[in-house]
Structure 1
Amino acid sequence: MSEWKVKRFWKAARTAAEGDGFAVLLDARPIKTPAKSALVVPSEELAKEIAAEWDAQEEAVNPQTMPFTRSANAAIDKVAIQHDEVAEMIAAYGDSDLLCYRAEGPSELVARQSERWDPVLNWARESQGIDLKAVRGIVHKPQDALPLVRIADRTRQMSAFELTAFHDLVMLSGSFLLGLAAVESYAAPETLWDLSRLDESWQEEQWGPDDEATKAAEIKKAAFLHAARFYALVAGQG
């Protein structure tokens, strides 16, 4: 995008209150998103992270080194405009949640899935009022209507910034429940990511790691951890 292809012209980036949120100023100039909207974020903590990214730039702006700026841009330029569509897409994962589809064998894998995934299902039912059922095999079995309604309602209630992070948490893990567990601080993001990789970890134990798959998984893990951090910053949790 041409608007990113600029050289550093500012001495320092700083935050400033702007309405109900916070802007980031390059000297006295407010940052704009690629679509030319004002980059105003919900919390000062997030604004400080964005300011730090801009301060870290040297001669030329490199957006690949600015994940919080890119996520904020996505929230403003994309998710805010398509909020209902994004929420519907994410909520659909509840009807085919990774944690609900269990192996039929071997017995060791079956036991491991039950041991590590059942507590998340129990937490979702008892703490979040979302009662999803686990099945054996990979053939889709629709969930009951009530938990899906609750999933849809919960997702629609998220702000554009929250939804931006939640989208990545769910898509990367393949699980609405693990995404929800991340934003509700049920467990550390690293632990939740490991839960999403339970089947792959099992396969690696049996056959050894694949270098390309390992590299791809590390990239996805970094994106998952970033999304969890972005959500926390949106909520003002430094």
Structure 2
Amino acid sequence: MRQSWSFLLSSCHINVCLRQCKQMFQKRNTHSSFRELKKFYKNASITTSQGWYEINLDKRKLRTPGGKIFQVPNEALALAVATEWNKQKTHIRQHTMHLTSLCNTAIDNPMHRTRESLMESIIHFLETDTICYRLTEPPQLYELMCNEWDPLLHWAKDRHGIEIEPTTGIATPGVSPQTVETIRRHLMSYSDWALFGYDYAVDAIKSLIIIMALLDREISIDKAVNLARLELEFQIQKWGNVEWHHDLDLYELRTRLSASTLFIHWSNENSSIKEKASLAKQFV
């Protein structure tokens, strides 16, 4: 059953995950290994320029690490980024600003990735998709994997005509050329900016099928994370939790996935922009 965005991503979901991450960091180590810059502004706000949205830190225009003016194609995305900057206290904790990071990557494109290379990178995950690899031992884990992951494979077949045969050995899952082409056509419906977020999300969760179901509102953020961590959670139940480590990974993954899902959604809608985000704009 498809669910609403309000159910999948409540307005406070990312902030809740970030607070939990912050608490875990503080408990595990009082000395952060991440680079933190001293806050140099009082307020972050948004302005418009030729159909794009910019972020102002007081009267300064925000720029990317590559020196370009920070511009995004959607007002909601711009407001969310401004919120990330306004949430910073005495120091700028860049590792908590996932939307800003995604935007920087899309604007600077440091690896000079094309639309085609982004789609190929996403499709490549089919060969190593988490839900397509099954362990036969112990039997309880194999049964759990089948019960939890098979419904997603059935959904992919019914919804998109995608057929993938899971594997229990070292061989890669069975993926037909028709399935690859179907996914390619599906990805072509996304804007260039959205593809950056799509690639980020798939890389975080290690499953293209889970991300497709999430973006189609078939499953929630929490369900997506639980499916991706199925084997790990099974082992935790059996052997116990490593203090702070597993919880920190869990909250960080939820935060990354929430941010990337919102980024894809906002980058792909064109109801409030004059043009779709395009890699071509970077070279004008």
Q: Does the alignment pair 1:20 with 2:47?
A: no
- CA contact under 8 A between 1:91 and 1:155: conserved in structure 2? no
- The whole-number CA distance in structure 1 between the counterparts of 2:39 and 2:229 is 40
Q: Does the alignment pair 1:220 with 2:253?
A: yes
Distance 1:129 1:205, change over 3 A: same
Tell me the number of residue pairs that the alignment of Structure 1 and Structure 2 aligns.
233
- The whole-number CA distance in structure 1 between the counterparts of 2:139 and 2:202 is 28
Q: TM-score, normalization: structure 1? A: 0.84
Does the residue aligned with 1:150 lie in a helix, a strand or coil?
Answer: helix
Provide the residue aligned with 2:168 in structure 1: 136
Provide the residue aligned with 2:109 in structure 1: 78
Does the residue aligned with 2:123 lie in a helix, a strand or coil?
Answer: helix
Q: Does the alignment pair 1:205 with 2:234?
A: no
- CA contact under 8 A between 1:24 and 1:30: conserved in structure 2? yes
Q: Please give the residue correspondences for 1:36-55 in structure 2 after superposition, counting only pairs within 5 Å.
A: 36-55=67-86
Return 116-125 or 228-237, whichever deviates more: 228-237
Distance 1:154 1:135, change over 3 A: same
Distance 1:130 1:141, change over 3 A: closer
How far is the alpha carbon of 1:154 from its aligned partner?
2.9
- CA contact under 8 A between 2:191 and 2:267: conserved in structure 1? no
How far is the alpha carbon of 1:7 from its aligned partner?
5.1
Distance 1:88 1:235, change over 3 A: closer
How far is the alpha carbon of 1:161 from its aligned partner?
2.5
How far is the alpha carbon of 1:45 from its aligned partner?
0.9
Q: Does the alignment pair 1:66 with 2:100?
A: no
- CA contact under 8 A between 2:132 and 2:173: conserved in structure 1? no
- The whole-number CA distance in structure 2 between the counterparts of 1:5 and 1:108 is 48
Q: Does the alignment pair 1:179 with 2:211?
A: yes
Provide the residue aligned with 2:127 in structure 1: 95
- Residue by residue over 1:12-64, the C-alpha shift from the partner in whole angstroms, topping out at 9 and shown as x without a partner, is 32222333332222344432212122222121111011112233345554423
Give the unaligned 5+ runs of structure 2: 1-35, 272-284
How far is the alpha carbon of 1:122 from its aligned partner?
1.3
Return 76-85 or 199-208, whichever deviates more: 76-85
Larger relative contact order (Cα-Cα within 8 Å, sequence gap ≥ 6): 2
- CA contact under 8 A between 1:190 and 1:225: conserved in structure 2? no
How far is the alpha carbon of 1:208 from its aligned partner?
2.0
- The whole-number CA distance in structure 2 between the counterparts of 1:68 and 1:187 is 22
How far is the alpha carbon of 1:212 from its aligned partner?
6.7
- Residue by residue over 1:172-207, the C-alpha shift from the partner in whole angstroms, topping out at 9 and shown as x without a partner, is 221110121222221111111100111111122222
Q: TM-score, normalization: structure 2? A: 0.71
Give the unaligned 5+ runs of structure 1: none
Provide the residue aligned with 2:63 in structure 1: 32
- The whole-number CA distance in structure 1 between the counterparts of 2:98 and 2:204 is 16
Distance 1:145 1:213, change over 3 A: farther
- CA contact under 8 A between 1:102 and 1:138: conserved in structure 2? no
- CA contact under 8 A between 2:221 and 2:254: conserved in structure 1? no
- Residue by residue over 1:140-162, the C-alpha shift from the partner in whole angstroms, topping out at 9 and shown as x without a partner, is 24411111122233335432321
- CA contact under 8 A between 2:62 and 2:70: conserved in structure 1? yes
